[in-house]
Structure 1
Amino acid sequence: MADNVLAVASVSFSDSFNATLADCWTKLEKKSIYASPDEFQSLIKQVLSWDIRSLSQRSRPHNSIVNTENDIRGNSNTVDLDDDQDDAATNTGGEGVSLLSSDIIYHLTLEGLDVSYRMVSDGNVIVEKVTLPSRITKQL
């Protein structure tokens, strides 16, 4: 049987992940179909154990030069690329910048929560944090 090209090597969680999950869980636990934060974390791991990025995101050379525009999110040096803005990058300069795969943050929405993660070397995934989307925060 051939190796599955969509399988990732590993899924791990950042040191701050559990704190962000606990914060979101206290606000949404009664609306979730999952009984605990651990069950929800298991779901995240199951979903991200496959490379769910679009074909263009997978084939984009991460070490290439990406044109950037002024950062409207607070002068962060990381770049957020999501499906709606596949080729848009934000940084602090307005000039081209070389990106490494670990500089790109991808977003996944599960149970109405925004899961931020990075694809790092050799197909490893690091889940950074979980946040409430602003539209949900306003409703609470």
Structure 2
Amino acid sequence: MNYTVLVTGAPYGTQNASTAFLFCKALVNTVHHLKSIFFYCDGVLNANSMTTPANDEFDLIKAWQKLKKKHHVNLYVCNSAAMRRGVIAEKKILNLDTQNGNLAIFFELSGLIELACAIKKCDRLIQF
């Protein structure tokens, strides 16, 4: 089966994102296919490169990046939700008069149309 995962929880403060990561990690080690992960609402904070957990805490942002690098899973971030929460890409800085973007590498800004296309192509949509 083909899966799409929708993450709506922030990386820290709730279990949504960490549970989603554990599900995705387990899924890529099965016969099923994880086509894409879409971050929406507070889930876009998973793409904030400025998030720095304590040394003894699990770094969820780096874990998502490793999952993308190893298994070639698309990490889509809702552009509108990201803008509302201060997560911006380098190419957006000229319009916002900021010095740096903070969208973590391997994450890609997209619109809800990308989520709609992923839902159409997958067999299962799992939301965390």
Normalising to structure 1: TM-score of the pair?
Answer: 0.21
Structure having the larger proportion of residues in strand? 1
The structure in which a higher percent of residues are helix is 2
Higher relative contact order (CA 8 A, sep 6+): 2
**TM-score of the superposed pair, with normalisation by structure 2:** 0.22
Q: Which has the larger radius of gyration?
A: 1
